[in-house]
Structures are given as C-alpha cells and as structure tokens.
C-alpha cells in the first residue's frame, strides 16, 4: 500500500528542505522532525498494559512494546530519520543497510548490512528518497525474507514510478511518503526533489 501525507505541517517542512540555502544541520534536523511526524501518521502500534510505580502507588497503564520495533536506515541520508525515531522509541532496535546507487546503471549496490533479529518484529524502514525504487525494493527483499510481523517504510520525497515498482514487488509493506513529486530526470534525480539528499545532509 502507498499513502501520501496531506498534512500542511509536513508539506511545509518538505518545502523548507528544497531551499538550498539551509545548512546541513537544518537539513538533518528537518529530516528528523519529518520522520517523527510521518511515523505518527503511518505506524500502527498496539498498546500493552504494564504496571508501573506512580506517585499514588502501583498502577496499570498502556505502552507500545518498543523492543519489538526495528528502525532500519538505508545509509546514508536516512541516518537523521533513524535518529528521530529512536528518540521516540528509546528501547527500539536499530538496523543498517548501506546502499549506494551506481550513478551510471542507477542500480543500488549493497555494501554493508548490520541487522538485529527481524523475525516477528515491527520493521520501520527509513530513507528520504524513492527515485527508481531500486534501493527500497532491495531493502524490502532482504527484510521481508526474514519474516517480520509488519513493515512500514517512511520517505520524504519520491516519484510514482519508483513507489509503484516497489509496491508491486512488496504489496504487504505500507509505504508512506510526505510528498510525491513530478518526475525523474535523465540522471534519475527527482524533480523538483531535494537534490542529493546524502550530500546535503552530510555536506559532501
Ligand atoms: C539515495 C537515497 C536512496 C536512493 C534512492 O541514496 O537516499 O537510498 O538514493 O534512489 P533509488 O530509488 O533510485 O534507488 P544514494 O544511493 O545516493 O546514497 P547516499 O545516501 O549515500 O548518498
Ligand atoms: N538520490 C537522491 O539523493 N536524490 C534523488 O533525487 C535521487 C536519488
């Protein structure tokens, strides 16, 4: 399933990212905020009752099972998004899939993997950009094979073709995006997009 945010606050934050005058620090900060807002829109969590000590004695309240959440970042540009979600869920686990798009073939090449146990867990994949969809589809191939309970993916800007390609290969994943942009140029960059998100986040 593919869903796109309609929230004006999210739209405003995305459009602030398009301004090339913002600093890498501001760019990373907005990615972090957007990840938190997108998660609020798209991630469905069940609540479990736990007994905790309060000022009026031991009482039961409902909490999210954070230990069952795995936030997987597709390096590099997703790192601030992952940080934003791990601030919301301090007991969630983090995973890393490092991929780099070959700039001539546009294929995603995996160069590093570090994942905790995925089976039965609620996976949140973060990556700001979905262009051809190659990186996201490859990440889903790896994670879906490990039998998670659910997969939600959160993105800032993408195009229809990349999102539909990924969804066709992984219809059980919930792909949620802040903004679907117009098209890919000849270099497979999103137009209007953000430019190279990794370079802008890390000033390279
Ligand atoms: C960017 C982006 C995605 C990918 C999207 O990463 O963060 O992972 O491109 O393109 P696709 O949909 O065509 O696969 P990139 O490969 O530039 O690596 P970087 O984050 O290290 O700059
Ligand atoms: N990767 C980016 O960082 N930006 C794009 O527009 C496409 C892929």
The pLDDT value given to residue 103: 85
The pLDDT value given to residue 2: 98
Characterize the bridge pairing of strands 190-191 and 174-181: unpaired
- Both tokens assigned to 56: 């009026």
pTM, entire model: 0.97
Residue of 63, 11, 70 whose CA lies nearest to 41:
11
Sequence-distant (6+) residues with CB within 8 A of 125 are: 72, 74, 136, 139, 140, 143, 151, 152, 153, 154
Find the 7 Cα to ligand 1 centroid distance in Å. 25
The pLDDT value given to residue 161: 98
The pLDDT value given to residue 71: 98
126 in contact with ligand 2, CB cutoff 6 A: no
Atom of ligand 1 nearest to the CA of 158: 12
The pLDDT value given to residue 66: 97
Find the 135 Cα to ligand 1 centroid distance in Å. 7
Find the 129 Cα to ligand 1 centroid distance in Å. 6
Residue 13 near residue 30 (C-beta atoms within 8 A): yes
Secondary structure letter of residue 106 according to DSSP: -
Whose Cα sits closest to atom 7 in ligand 2? 189
Spans of the chain, pLDDT less than 70: none
In this structure, what is the dihedral angle of CA atoms 143, 128, 109, 97, given to the nearest 10 degrees? -40
Residue of 181, 174, 138 whose CA lies nearest to 156:
181
Whose Cα sits closest to atom 1 in ligand 2? 196
Secondary structure letter of residue 150 according to DSSP: E
Query: Could you tell me the fold of the domain covering 2-44+68-202?
Result: Rossmann fold (3.40.50)
Phi-psi sector, 102: left (phi>0), alpha (psi -120 to 50), beta:
beta
The pLDDT value given to residue 141: 98
């Amino acid at each position: 399933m593919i869903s796109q945010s309609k929230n004006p606050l999210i739209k405003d934050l995305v459009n602030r990212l398009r301004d090339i005058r913002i600093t890498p620090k501001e760019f990373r900060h907005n990615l972090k905020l957007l990840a938190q807002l997108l998660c609020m829109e798209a991630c469905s969590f069940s609540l479990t009752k736990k007994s905790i000590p309060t000022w009026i004695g031991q009482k039961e309240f409902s909490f999210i099972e954070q230990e069952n959440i795995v936030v997987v970042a597709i390096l590099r540009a997703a790192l601030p998004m992952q940080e934003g979600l791990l601030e919301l869920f301090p007991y969630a686990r983090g995973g890393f899939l490092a991929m780099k798009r070959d700039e001539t073939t546009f294929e995603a090449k995996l160069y590093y993997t570090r994942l905790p146990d995925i089976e039965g867990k609620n996976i949140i994949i973060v990556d700001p950009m979905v262009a051809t969809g190659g990186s996201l589809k490859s990440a889903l191939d790896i994670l879906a094979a490990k039998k998670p309970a659910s997969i939600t993916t959160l993105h800032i800007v993408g195009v229809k073709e990349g999102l539909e390609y990924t969804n066709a290969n992984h219809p059980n994943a919930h792909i949620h995006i802040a903004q679907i942009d117009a098209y890919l140029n000849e270099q497979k960059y999103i137009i209007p997009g953000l430019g190279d998100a990794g370079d802008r986040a890390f000033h390279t």
